[in-house]
Structure 1
Amino acid sequence: MPSNNTPPRVSFSRRRLIAGTAASVGCSATLSPLPSLFAETGESPKRILLRSSWQTVNIGDIAHTPGVLSLLREHLPETEVTLWPSSVDNGVEKLLRTEFPRLKIAKPRSKELQQAFQECDFLLHGSGASIVAERDLVRWHDETGKPYGIYGITFPMKKSSATSVRDEDAMARSVEVLSQARFVFFRDSKSLELAKRLGASSPMMEFGPDGAFACDLRDKSAADRFLETNQLQPGKFLCCIPRLRYTPYWTIKKGRKFDPIKHARNEAMKEHDHVLLREAIVQIARETDHQILVCPEDRTQMAVGKEMLMDQLPKDILPRVVWRPNYWLTGEAVSVYTQSAGLFGNEMHSPIMCIGHGVPAIVCRFEEQTTKGFMWEDIGLGDWLFDLDSVSDRERLVPTVMNLVTDREDALTKTEKARQFVSKRQQETMAALGQELQSPA
């Protein structure tokens, strides 16, 4: 959680925070106009190089980038942003350019990236499962000497490999990269605790929400067509997302080798990890007037949903359940989620996007995952975080899913409280970035 020794925020950000808080609780606040970020000094707009967009086979990985871009557009509107992506294929580049027409994109090994290294003032590493672009942060630091910050990551302990010395060296390099950052915002408090325990010493290390909370991409026309075609009534259906222990990337990524160990683990645990989702679907269909949409977060999950959910449901409830057979991009998914009554399942970023838009969402996790799921505790939704390897958690999962429908007022109240907490932290983290941009070079 946020530390007690946080440096004071710059005044323009603090005032924006006050105004936003007042609006969220229904109060009025009269404030003099906020100065633009660089108007007082007459400086040219500061330039940020955003390192993000890790892959496009997962709508959560897609969502990181537009989420952070939305925050920059809202809180630091006079900055110029260049995206340094790993991948913006499969229609994602067009999606980003449509939503953010001023965005510059500098792809790897391009002249645009060389120019960005010369012109940009600050590198911002976007949300991810780790310091995804650790080598690129080192390169930026070595080649430019200019500052960088890390926004909304999980910091996982390195997995054991052939030589423990190699693992220790890799972790030491990661700690050094964290320490050289002007700030590091961890998307779960367990990552923050680990970084501190290992000796990371960035001037600011705090909890900071995953960038995907702010993702507001929309494709309402596609969503509306999908709902109409499948006779899903807005507000009268829940979304359910399946997931195996390990994403079988070898089924969707060219050149990715089949992993027999991960495959065997998936096969051993797939019934264990989906039986309760089926029970929840059956109970909702039989005891409420809501339907269920089985949908994917990544390109592997349509098949998982078909095998582990649809094909094993009782025939009498199948008319109440819709299975989405094809992948979708983030805009359509968000536009469907925001018309649902809630979401539950074995994924993380669809719940993140739901909470960011005031939609109740339940997260199930297991030991193979990183600590990212614990962000649900950090934002006040610990009752909606379930460890599928815990007997006690398993016992309360189905009743809690039912409560999204039967105790609607409580579900919406919890969701809104978490959303406001996330929004406040987003404002504070953007204020920290604004302060860094105003600091002397």
Structure 2
Amino acid sequence: MTHLKFGKRSSALDRRAFLSGTAKLGMAAGTLGLNSSLLPSLASADDGKPPKRVLLRSSWQTVNIGDIAHTPGVLSILREHLPDVEVTLWPSNVDNGVEELLRKEFPKLKIAKPRSEALKQAFRECDFLLHGSGASIVAERDLIRWREETGKPYGIYGITFPMKKSSATRARNEDAMARSVEVLSHARFVFFRDSKSLALAKSLGASSPVMEFGPDGAFACDLRDEPAADRFLEENQLKPQGFLCCIPRLRYTPYWTIKSHVKFDPVKHARNEAMKEHDHAELREAIVQVVRETDRKVLVCPEDRTQMAVGKEMLIDRLPQDVLSRVVWRPNYWLTGEAVSVYMKSAGLFGNEMHSPIMCIGHGIPAIVCRFEEQTSKGYMWEDIGLGDWLFDLDSETDRNRIVPAVLQLANDLDAAKAKAEEARRFVENRQRETMAVLQQELASIS
């Protein structure tokens, strides 16, 4: 199978031409035949008809600030580009303060929880179902249910489409993949958050009318908690732009340590133990070099609830004594608003996670991503948005040797790093506008 891929130094125009099939205004104008001059006014068009209603299927879990960020990100994109559309959220989970956070930021938002009367009403009243960003077609069975029960259209926004890995029989795996391809094909549009997923879907015969690159919704997450961030910085003597953030991660998230219903997995645990030094040695050395060779500090912080302990064990406890005085360890979890506010006050971020870098780039903050084979292809979105030089494969010795120099270069030439991050941010925002034009066209076609 041939994967479609951008060169690490390809221009925004080259990427835009590949992703949209035209260098003018992409699929929004080319595929759908829209006049590009109309696109800025699509969101404000008022034809006197009742507003369209969109049911957003999202909010997969709350133990990871990245999973939290998917929903406010997509809601922000909808609010900016389609302000007259009424949105109802169909979440899997909005506990741990996330529901309150969403209602505060989006006061008009309706929430229809599973098995509720509100969800039944949403099935009757909503015109279109939008599946939000995720590691796969997370709510695949719900899309099937929506289509079978309502006959109404749906679209899929900013997902990875992974080759299914399972201990099940080959026949079951093939059946599951065939079902996924069918779900993709029935969608009015599918936006993949990385080009490898797009290529895989096409190679398997998926045939949605529109299949294109579309950024992860978390790029647009703009939740803030400035008071909490300011308190944290003051308590830890961190000055704005005077520190870099570093996020650890094991090969497999040990959910059994934070979720009572998840059983201990000895195979995944063994893999984590075997690779944890390998996967954190370069991060640790980068911390040492930043502290010793620049005037910046380093904040070791989490993206999910398991990573405070990982950061303590693999980074903090193994640093030289002369470095520790300028390294801060965050011992407790935080919600997305505080995290985003801290990231925006930092000089940049590096580590083994994906969604904190996504949220950084969404605000023009430099971010370096390290990935490994156990992850899906989502990390390759960094190449798709022009940041291939900031993507490193921990399973490649060549890439691992480049991590510390890249972090030091970011720390020593922040102006250049910010300019690079800003170019990626502009590219992402342009794609968001184009994808919303596609959704607008779909809604306009519904009588």
TM-score by length of 2: 0.93
Amino acid at match of 1:144: T
- CA shift digits 1:355-404 (9 cap, x unpaired): 00000000000000000000000000000000000011011110000011
Q: Is the aligned partner of 1:145 residue 2:169?
A: no
CA contact (8 A) 1:184 1:204 kept: yes
SS at match of 2:162: coil
Distance in 1 separating the partners of 2:126 and 2:439: 14
Q: Is the aligned partner of 1:63 residue 2:87?
A: no
Q: Counterparts of 1:66-85 in structure 2 under 5 Å? A: 66-85=72-91
Q: Counterparts of 1:312-331 in structure 2 under 5 Å? A: 312-331=318-337
Change (3 A) 1:275 1:35: closer
Q: Counterparts of 1:245-284 in structure 2 under 5 Å? A: 245-284=251-290
Which residue of structure 2 aligns with residue 104 of structure 1?
Answer: 110
Question: Percent same amino acid at aligned positions?
Answer: 77
Which residue of structure 2 aligns with residue 203 of structure 1?
Answer: 209
Distance in 1 separating the partners of 2:355 and 2:285: 23
Distance in 2 separating the partners of 1:117 and 1:418: 37
CA contact (8 A) 1:209 1:426 kept: yes
SS at match of 2:19: coil
Distance in 2 separating the partners of 1:106 and 1:254: 26
Please report how far the alpha carbon of residue 3 of structure 1 lies from its aligned counterpart in structure 2 after TM superposition.
3.9
Amino acid at match of 2:387: L
CA contact (8 A) 1:52 1:85 kept: yes
- CA shift digits 1:88-116 (9 cap, x unpaired): 00000000000000000000000000000
Q: Is the aligned partner of 1:8 residue 2:35?
A: no
Distance in 2 separating the partners of 1:293 and 1:165: 47
SS at match of 2:325: helix
Which residue of structure 1 aligns with residue 46 of structure 2?
Answer: 39
Change (3 A) 1:369 1:164: same
Distance in 2 separating the partners of 1:131 and 1:378: 20
Q: Structure 1 runs of 4+ off > 6 angstroms?
A: none
Q: Which runs of 5+ in 1 are unaligned?
A: 17-33
Distance in 1 separating the partners of 2:66 and 2:159: 13
Distance in 2 separating the partners of 1:381 and 1:13: 30
Q: What is the root-mean-square deviation of aligned Cα atoms in Å?
A: 1.2
Q: Is the aligned partner of 1:404 residue 2:410?
A: yes
Say which of 308, 318, 323 aligns to 2:314. 308
Q: Which runs of 5+ in 2 are unaligned?
A: 1-17
Please report how far the alpha carbon of residue 60 of structure 1 lies from its aligned counterpart in structure 2 after TM superposition.
0.1
Q: Is the aligned partner of 1:126 residue 2:143?
A: no
Amino acid at match of 1:309: L
Distance in 1 separating the partners of 2:421 and 2:374: 27
Amino acid at match of 1:380: G
Please report how far the alpha carbon of residue 407 of structure 1 lies from its aligned counterpart in structure 2 after TM superposition.
1.8
Aligned length: 423
Distance in 2 separating the partners of 1:438 and 1:85: 26
Q: Counterparts of 1:353-368 in structure 2 under 5 Å? A: 353-368=359-374
Which residue of structure 2 aligns with residue 285 of structure 1?
Answer: 291
Q: Is the aligned partner of 1:48 residue 2:72?
A: no
Distance in 2 separating the partners of 1:193 and 1:61: 24
Please report how far the alpha carbon of residue 13 of structure 1 lies from its aligned counterpart in structure 2 after TM superposition.
7.6
TM-score by length of 1: 0.94
Amino acid at match of 1:233: K
- CA shift digits 1:381-433 (9 cap, x unpaired): 00000000001101111000001111222211211111110010000001100
CA contact (8 A) 1:356 1:419 kept: yes
CA contact (8 A) 1:68 1:211 kept: yes
Change (3 A) 1:121 1:12: farther
CA contact (8 A) 1:12 1:35 kept: no
